[in-house]
Amino acid sequence: MPIRMTKPSEGSSFSIAIEDRFDMSDDHIVELMSMDEYNGISKIDGKPFTSIIWHCRIYDADGVAFTNEIDHAPYDFAEFSSLSLAKGSKGPSKARIWASAFIGHDLSEEECEAIAENFDGALVGKRALASWMLEDDKTNGGKKLKFALLRPIPPRMKQAAAAKAAPKAATPTNGSVAGAGKTVTVPTPLRETAAERRARLIAELDAMEETADEDAAPAGNDADGALPF
């Protein structure tokens, strides 16, 4: 998806493209990074209005954030909504639908009343699952990426993401040194440094010397006069 520079007649803004590996036909987990107020003037009636900008980071199936094509920093996907959390006759407002997706369930009136006092504080840092669409960009020309649908992350996806994020401990490969009546097991990491390998070899040699001392037959008979074999 190339960067489209605007002509002088179109103004001074330009579009920033997400990296090519992004596929808008896939669903992606998004994380709400910040929220800002935007004050503008309506092109329809010339009246001032205030919107909320939802800044999101988009992740691939491996949990890696998509970057932009300018400086390769994480792509800042921005969407707009009104300030309303109403549930009107035509259905919930966009802000209410998105807030419900990030919270993880449909919000009640009581919950909306509570989070309205600290809207970004209640939502920033939370994640949801997004589907995408393209819409005409009336400001910059071309197309712009939009939420087609935003909903809570299904439990199965949360479990899979948690499993990928969890640190994986290396499973040791055990080396065994047999002795008389016992086995000395020396853990061996899957990937050893030179120092770790040297320490392991020294430990194994010490274990073998200890076993050899225990296996050595005593001179003469044992305590009760029987031969030691």
Q: DSSP labels for 30-67? A: EEEEEEEEEEEE-TTT--EEEEEEEEEEEE-TTSPBPB
Lowest mean per-residue pLDDT among 35-39, 93-97, 182-186: 182-186
CA 44 to chain CA mean position, Å: 40
* Confidence category of residue 162, pLDDT binned at 50, 70, 90: confident
- For residue 193, the SS3 value is coil
Higher pLDDT, 202 or 223: 202
Higher pLDDT: 191 or 83? It is: 83
Q: What tokens appear for 63 in the block?
A: 């949990």
Mean pLDDT of 133-148: 87
Q: In the predicted model, is pLDDT for residue 219 greater than 50?
A: no
Q: Band of the pLDDT at 222, cuts 50, 70, 90?
A: very low
pLDDT at residue 189 is higher than 50: no
Distance CA 22, CA 36 (A): 25
Strand partners, 178: 183
Any residues with CB less than 8 A from the CB of 196 and at least 6 apart, and which?
A: 189
pLDDT score of 178 more than 70 = no
* pLDDT above 70 for 138: yes
Quickly tell me which residue has 């036909």 as its tokens. Answer: 25
- Torsions phi, psi for 118 (to 5 deg): -150, 65
List, in sequence order, every beta strand (DSSP E) within 68-191.
77-81, 87-88, 91-92, 127-136, 143-151, 173-178, 183-188
Q: How many Å apart are CA 168 and CA 181, to the nearest integer?
A: 35
Tell me the pLDDT of the chain averaged across its residues.
78
**CB-based contacts of 217: which residues, under 8 Å, 6+ apart?**
228, 229
Handedness of CA 152, 97, 149, 131 (dihedral sign): negative
pLDDT of residue 152 exceeding 90? yes
Mean predicted confidence (pLDDT) in 16-27: 93
Could you tell me the residue ranges of all domains in the chain? Answer: 8-165, 173-215
Q: Model confidence over 32-82: pLDDT tens digits?
A: 999 999 998 988 898 999 999 999 999 999 999 999 999 999 999 999 999
**Which residues does 216 contact at the CB level (< 8 Å), separation at least 6?**
none
Q: Inform me whether the pLDDT recorded for 216 exceeds 80.
A: no
Confidence of residue 16 (pLDDT cuts 50, 70, 90): confident
Task: Name the more confident of 51 and 168.
Answer: 51
pLDDT of 204: 67
141 confidence band (pLDDT: 50, 70, 90): confident
